[in-house]
Amino acid sequence: MVQKKTVQVAVGVVLRQTAVHTAQQRYQVYLTQRSIAAHQGGKWEFPGGKCEPGETVLQALQRELKEEIGIVVNDADFLMDIRHDYGDKNVLLDVYTLTNFSGEPFGKEGQVGAWFELTELTNIDFPAANTAIVQRIIEQY
């Protein structure tokens, strides 16, 4: 039996407070859309990317978010890790929330990106591994 490769991915849940002033804080989350040619193409995702050899997860997160959406991570809080089997490969997602970052995120590599209200997340097409992230964010924020 051939063992499938496991890909370790640093994932950033980029959050900003909305301008609405209520007793309950409201947040928006920044998502990017995967290229049609990519694995899980066309689906929306939390930005991030693969960890390179010798890189810590936080170093990978900082590098990937700067390269992918043009922000500098000032602080990141661990949210969860997820193991998921896509059939053709396994992924290990190390997920961090970010509310303290510099710059305004945009699709630096030409990908579509947008801010979404947390209430919209259950109607967005995500890769299967992201379902648990969506549930946790909605619960906590």
Domain segments of the chain as ranges: 6-140
pLDDT of residue 86: 79
**DSSP assignment letter at 67:** H
pLDDT at 68 over 80: yes
Q: How confident is the model over 23-39, as a mean pLDDT?
A: 82
6-140 carries CATH number 3.40.309.10: no
pTM here is 0.89
Percent of the chain with pLDDT over 90: 70
CB 32 within 8 A of CB 45: yes
Band of pLDDT at residue 126, cut at 50, 70 and 90: very high
- Strand, coil or helix: 131: helix
Using one digit for the tens of pLDDT, what is the confidence trace for 97-121? Answer: 999 999 999 999 999 999 999 989 9
Strand partners, 136: none
Q: How far is CA 89 from CA 3, 6, 84, 138, in A?
A: 9, 6, 9, 28
